[in-house]
Structure 1
Amino acid sequence: MYRSGIVLFLLTIFSLTACQKNFLDQVPDDRITIDQVFNRRDLSEQYLANIYNTAIRDHAGVTAGIPWIGCSDEGDVSYDRVDYYSFKINIGNWNALSNYYNFWQGYYQGIRSATYFMSRIGKNEQLLSEPNGAELIKQYTGEARFLRAYCYFLIMEQYGPAVLVGDDAIPVDLPISDPRLNLPRSSFDECVDYVVEELDKAATELPLHFTVQSEMDYGRATKAACMAVKARLLLYAASPLFNGNKDYANFKNTDGKQLVNQTEDITKWRRAADASKAIIDEGLFSLYKKSDPIVSLRDIFLDTWNSEWIFARAKSSISAWERTATPRGIAAGYSATGPTQKQVDAYEMENGMRPITGYNADGSPVINTASGYKETGMSTVATKYTTVGTYNMYVGREPRFYVAVSYAGSYWINPSEGNKVIQTWFSGESGKKGSWDHSRTGYLNRKNVSPLTNPRLNKYQDRAYLMFRFGEVLLNYVEALNEAEPGHSDILLYLNMIRDRAGVPQYGQGANPLPVPNGQAAMREAIRHERQVELAFEYLRYFDTRRWKIAEQTEGGAFYGMNVDADPPAFYRRTVFETRVFRKNYYLFPVPQSEIDIDKNIVQNPGW
């Protein structure tokens, strides 16, 4: 779907000039016209593939292309340089003119291309002449409809209320004064209803699931993908950022229209719960599980198209992600992304207890001694997951910790050249001494890295990039259900399914059970914590803290890691690597000023 880059680029140009009749009349005879594109099956399919490439962005490369880990409390992009925008954002050095991570324009290009495709594909003569032509046209229309809806969703999660442009492709040669180029933003609730309606309609035009597709079609839209996007969108819509947010009382269009509702609506949580439950009830998915929790949690991402996968990008630059997470000295990686100490602290002990229950005013941890956690010293015995001489902070932790975090003293994930020890201290193989390529936190990301990867030998596992999985759906469901109907039996049922697969004690049942969280608030906190650990580094934490309206507490202030300016034993000391700034206006990205300059009816997001 993503092979013909040059052709697809040309087709993008054709899509942008489709309404300029005089231009097309002057195209030389050896060039393809837009009419020819939509009279031939192969060219129409390539046009659709280009929309996929625009809408389903390749988020595998994390250091410069996207901010969802580097600007979240779970992780850090190691380069504290001015050409890395996540660094600028974290220190508060940006404004509405900065144009950082401007995805607005690209997503609207995807929306326009999808709309134009839908308006033309039904008259494709070559498709209509084939026995299954009508069925293919219906499917391709559904795919374009899904992609258009998905682009709107991505705009909404980053920028809030979108501009709904309708079903007519807007010509590119309109004067700026044309009303079609001066549309106001719709309210967030209107956007939600529109996208949900489009996803529901697309679901009727698409195959059920990738298991009914040929392997070469994996990554195309399905009914299940529509359901997953809908479930995530409705969860976000029910959350405090968009559901009765009084901070947005003055967030209005120029005509006074309110863009975010001011009265909390509990039924939105029910709607979100029902959307996730519908996926569960389809019976298509199950949590990926093998005999060892470590293997289960690791191979969710490596054993592609398994029972937990709902939607994925079939081709991706996953090798770029893996190299950013690879140690420098061991395997020529960039050591460029690392968990924060706060994220390390979030992982439970193997007994299911949390090692750290909070922080003192000076940033020091409040240690839960009952958990068995030790902050100092080195281990004297080997365990299932650690060796003798491991810093005690990392001993006896839950399996998800060892799947997600490479810490100093751990073995690199690829053992093909022997067990090589990761050294992120100052003079270590991946340390700060003499290189930009080092982790500022003393940790490296390990999740979604294949044990076959070795950048030094140019060895990577070519695989799809997972975007929606069943584990998230279960957590979406229990979160929404706890708000809509606290105490419902399904909350513990599905929350414990996640914990059981992760190899940690469950709440109220199983071996060594933990006490059941008492009451709605306690359960809410338990569910949020489970998301922080289970879904770490899957580009969800950034949006979770914002939609919950807790980012002012989680994203600002001193951020800690190990002391990367020292060698052991001084290395093993909590040290501030960055003091981050989070202001109230950061909950939403600013609409690019260039768009506001064009469309005078677009109001800027609050505080920008």
Structure 2
Amino acid sequence: MKFKQYHKLFYWTLFLGAGLLLTSCYGDYLDQVPDDRLSIEDVFKRRTTTEQYLANVYAYIRSETDHNTGNCPWEGLSDEMDVTYNNYPTYSMNLGSWDRNRGDYNYWNHYYEGIRSASYFIHHVDENQELSDELIAQYKAEARFLRAYFYSMIMRQYGPVILLPDEPIAPDATIEEMSIPRSPYDACVDYVVAEMDLSLEHLPVEPTNTREWGRINQGMVKAFKARTLLYAASPLYNGNTDYADFKNPDGTQLISQQYDENKWKRAADAAKEVIDMGKYELYREYNGDGSLDPYASLKNVFLRDWNPEIIFAKVSDMYAIDKNGSPYIAGGWSSWGPTQSAVDAYFMANGRRIDDPASGYLEQGFAEEETAYYDQGTYNMYVGREPRFYVAITFNGSKWINNEFGANGEPLVVEMYNGGNSGRYTGRNWSRTGYVVRKQVHPSSTVKPDRIAGRMEVKFRLAEIYLSYAEALNEYDPGNPDILHYLNLIRERAGIPQYGQGEDRVPAPQGQEATRAAIHRERRVELAFENLRYFDTRRWKVAESTDGGPFYGMDVDATDTEGFSERVVFEERVFEKKHYLWNIVQSELDRNGLLVENPGW
């Protein structure tokens, strides 16, 4: 039995309860006139049904909490994680079994249905006589943002999109009239940004009461605008000559061949606009003596609903997070395994990389004493790491976060080796890497029996904005003091030394290239397992080196801690240039003669 504890009412409760299926029947997404037109003629005559229709537009915002099934592939296809089970699509896709006719995780049509639904709402909400002009303007703005958001979600997966006309296409239009080509990526960005800007005028800065927490507000809009512009400024789309032949049938270039530094400035300015709102701050918790508790801060930023760092969140079923992220001995599946490269990315407690000779990192020997995070005898690889590591990674010898499963009230010590309490056995619920993702798992959840602590799915938080601002600023104005300032704010909250001069600091990176690498490393650690790494390695055009080749973990076949503590290859992954953009399935190409496939497919 699952239980949910929501401390604040989410506005979806207000709208989604009735659940009218007004947008459930769709034909071709280019046909913007609903198939059930006659049945919804009265929808916009009443306030209740109009708001229910808008709720259905919101419902196209996808939850991305389950990396196993068809719900969300981003972590399982990134260099951060292995999804243990070989019957789920990411397993075979990582091995190169990924062709242009594969339909797994194709969200092209899903988001176009959302776009169509939003457009229909925008064009008909004025018919409602029960809504004030102010509310109509606000609801239109929400739908306008959602439409732009849906476009941006297609763009992050597929690149250039088809920008549909605002006016509905006539139901008797010919196939030729309904065939619309993809727009150049920069034109898509400009359209999405312009639509988001247009929505701002009629949106509140912040919710007026706790029942409105999930409604679109200005901060949400500005945050997604900043992300859209950051992606557009990145190497995949900014002067990428690998896409010189990526054109429409009429010869229109779909990816700009000229590098434009000003794109980075637009991204930096957009991120700074969110910061300057003064509405958000990094979430912090403190010890009894008033000192910062970085571990609690980093763990609970995902568990404290609508804390001041959260920009956008939604009600979701967090069962997959807790079940897959809990060790087998605690009733979980131990099935989302961080890769060794993800483990290695975390800093030491002194703020240095593990390959820094001054870091104190050891890859031999075992801990002589226990701590709050691990037991005596734990492999030294996991000793003396930063708080974010202990928040995110379950490793052999680590202490579980829910004491209910320990003996005599003592914490449960997780054993990941063959025959250990959460290691390889004759069943299938064990990690092939020897690690499990514990980030976002709720310590109050128990999965034996299943009782899942309710909380929001965090989809955007301020830490991402800080890192995006630093990244964009470094590309067009290297040396700007804001770069290290915002990078250091992230490190300070993480409980590790900041960059700078002095005994309590880590030497700052010198030059644009070194600073870029430092920002990329910080982003990987801070935003790990938040469905961002997949897109980061692609937009940076580094996925050929990060996402292909041998992938390492610990020796899960070993039957004791000493044998387990050896790096071994668990998988040889295949990454090809065509994987930078997702394939468009043949059925979509068949229905639109002007729709070109992505390069390489």
TM-score tier (shorter): over 0.9
Task: Tell me the CA shift for residue 215 of structure 1.
Answer: 1.6
| Residues 61 and 317 in structure 1, CA contact (< 8 A), matched pair in contact too | no
**1:156 corresponds to which letter in structure 2?**
M
Task: Tell me the CA shift for residue 89 of structure 1.
Answer: 1.4
| Residues 176 and 598 in structure 1, CA contact (< 8 A), matched pair in contact too | no
| Aligned pair partner of 1:421 in 390, 413, 416 | 413
Can you list the C-alpha shifts for 1:115-174, whole angstroms capped at 9, x where unaligned? 0011111111222xxxxx211111111111111000000000000000000212345x55
Can you list the C-alpha shifts for 1:490-515, whole angstroms capped at 9, x where unaligned? 01111111000001111105762111
Q: Residues 189 and 325 of structure 1: is their aligned pair in 2 closer, same or farther, counting only changes over 3 Å? A: same
Q: Which residue of the partner structure matches residue 50 of structure 1?
A: 56
Task: Tell me the CA shift for residue 261 of structure 1.
Answer: 0.3
Q: Which residue of the partner structure matches residue 29 of structure 1?
A: none
Task: Tell me the CA shift for residue 10 of structure 1.
Answer: 2.4
Q: Which residue of the partner structure matches residue 63 of structure 1?
A: 68
Q: Which residue of the partner structure matches residue 114 of structure 1?
A: 118
Partner SS state of residue 310, structure 1? strand
**1:255 corresponds to which letter in structure 2?**
D
Partner SS state of residue 238, structure 2? coil
Q: Which residue of the partner structure matches residue 580 of structure 2?
A: 587
| Residues 104 and 592 in structure 1, CA contact (< 8 A), matched pair in contact too | no
**Paired-residue identity, %:** 49
1:81-120 paired onto structure 2 within 5 Å: 81=87, 84-120=88-124
Partner SS state of residue 512, structure 1? coil
Question: Are positions 1:37 and 2:43 aligned together?
Answer: yes
Q: Which residue of the partner structure matches residue 235 of structure 2?
A: 240
Normalising by the residue count of structure 1, what TM-score does the alignment of the two structures yield?
Answer: 0.92
CA RMSD, Structure 1 to Structure 2 (Å): 1.8
| Aligned pair partner of 1:76 in 49, 60, 82 | 82
Q: Which residue of the partner structure matches residue 198 of structure 1?
A: 195
Q: Which residue of the partner structure matches residue 309 of structure 2?
A: 308
| Distance (Å, rounded) in 2 between the aligned partners of 1:428 and 1:452 | 24
Can you list the C-alpha shifts for 1:588-608, whole angstroms capped at 9, x where unaligned? 001122111100101000000
Greater CA deviation, 412-421 or 43-52?
A: 412-421
Q: Residues 117 and 15 of structure 1: is their aligned pair in 2 closer, same or farther, counting only changes over 3 Å? A: farther
**1:429 corresponds to which letter in structure 2?**
N
| Distance (Å, rounded) in 1 between the aligned partners of 2:84 and 2:68 | 8
| Distance (Å, rounded) in 1 between the aligned partners of 2:25 and 2:55 | 14
**1:325 corresponds to which letter in structure 2?**
G
| Residues 505 and 511 in structure 1, CA contact (< 8 A), matched pair in contact too | no
1:266-277 paired onto structure 2 within 5 Å: 266-277=261-272
Task: Tell me the CA shift for residue 456 of structure 1.
Answer: 1.0
| Distance (Å, rounded) in 2 between the aligned partners of 1:509 and 1:48 | 53
Question: Are positions 1:10 and 2:21 aligned together?
Answer: yes
Task: Tell me the CA shift for residue 438 of structure 1.
Answer: 1.1
Task: Tell me the CA shift for residue 556 of structure 1.
Answer: 0.3
Can you list the C-alpha shifts for 1:233-291, whole angstroms capped at 9, x where unaligned? 10000000000000000000000000000010000001100000111111111111122
Task: Tell me the CA shift for residue 432 of structure 1.
Answer: 2.1
**2:304 corresponds to which letter in structure 1?**
D
Can you list the C-alpha shifts for 1:293-316, whole angstroms capped at 9, x where unaligned? 000100111111111111111x10
Q: Residues 513 and 5 of structure 1: is their aligned pair in 2 closer, same or farther, counting only changes over 3 Å? A: closer
Q: Which runs of 5+ in 2 are unaligned?
A: 1-10, 286-291
Q: Which residue of the partner structure matches residue 600 of structure 1?
A: 593
Q: Which residue of the partner structure matches residue 163 of structure 1?
A: 162
| Residues 335 and 431 in structure 2, CA contact (< 8 A), matched pair in contact too | yes
Q: Which runs of 5+ in 1 are unaligned?
A: 26-32, 128-132, 357-367
**1:574 corresponds to which letter in structure 2?**
R
| Residues 205 and 218 in structure 2, CA contact (< 8 A), matched pair in contact too | yes
| Residues 2 and 53 in structure 1, CA contact (< 8 A), matched pair in contact too | no
Question: Are positions 1:325 and 2:325 aligned together?
Answer: yes
Task: Tell me the CA shift for residue 14 of structure 1.
Answer: 6.7
Can you list the C-alpha shifts for 1:383-435, whole angstroms capped at 9, x where unaligned? 45333111111000011100110111111111134311212222122222111
Q: Which residue of the partner structure matches residue 520 of structure 2?
A: 528
| Distance (Å, rounded) in 2 between the aligned partners of 1:176 and 1:426 | 63
| Residues 23 and 34 in structure 2, CA contact (< 8 A), matched pair in contact too | no
| Distance (Å, rounded) in 2 between the aligned partners of 1:581 and 1:234 | 29
Q: Which residue of the partner structure matches residue 336 of structure 1?
A: 335
| Distance (Å, rounded) in 2 between the aligned partners of 1:239 and 1:431 | 40
**2:86 corresponds to which letter in structure 1?**
D
**2:377 corresponds to which letter in structure 1?**
G
Task: Tell me the CA shift for residue 369 of structure 1.
Answer: 4.1
Q: Which residue of the partner structure matches residue 483 of structure 1?
A: 475
